[in-house]
Amino acid sequence: MSITSDGSTASYYELPEGAKELQDLISHRNMNAQDGEIFRAIYRKGLASHSDELRDAKKVLFYAQAEVKRLEKKTPKPPAPMPVLQVAPRCTCDSATPGVHDLSCALRVKPVPVCNCSAHDLPGTVHMPWCTVLASK
């Protein structure tokens, strides 16, 4: 059950009637062992003679990590994505040469390199040595 807060105080901060010690709060919220240990360690942090602040902080971390692992096991994993079926492309050009397709053809698998030497892909055109068209061939 989720309770919405308007940003000020919310009912989930109110103490249950008759609560006199931490165990009453732990029981009221039906906390599990990890949550209860975290709650106790935070509340007594630096006050107990047998446990300094660092020990209490490490205890909180230990139980928090255990709770995360428990919740991760409990959380269902999303289903694996369905494989996408690939449809083989069909020739969409009118090339007269078998196996050679023009720039607009769906069967042309390599991206067409862009000429960067001012020569254009016309018959008889010579590209300069630094041209990206030459580098891709």
Helix, strand, coil percentages, rounded to 5, for the chain: 35, 0, 65
User: pLDDT digit string (tens) for 14-37?
Assistant: 888 999 999 999 999 999 999 999
**Domain-embedded: residue 133:** yes
Instruction: Measure CA of the first residue to CA of the last residue in the chain; give whole Å.
Output: 64
**Segment 94-114 mean pLDDT:** 59
What is the pLDDT at residue 81?
77
- Angstrom distances, CA of residue 12 to CA of 28, 47, 74, 93: 11, 26, 25, 69
Q: Which residue has the higher pLDDT, 22 or 76?
A: 22
End of a domain among 58, 74, 90? 74
- State the total domains in the chain: 2
Predicted pLDDT at 100 = 65
- CA dist 125 and 120 (Å) reads 7
Nearest to 129 by CA among 115, 110, 108: 115
- Does the residue 113 lie in any domain? yes
Look up the domain containing 132 and give its range.
107-137
- Sequence-separated (6 or more) residues with CB below 8 Å from residue 24: 16, 18
pLDDT for the residue 88? 54
**Residue 96 included in any domain:** no
pLDDT beyond 90 at 38: yes
C-alpha 36, offset from chain centre: 30
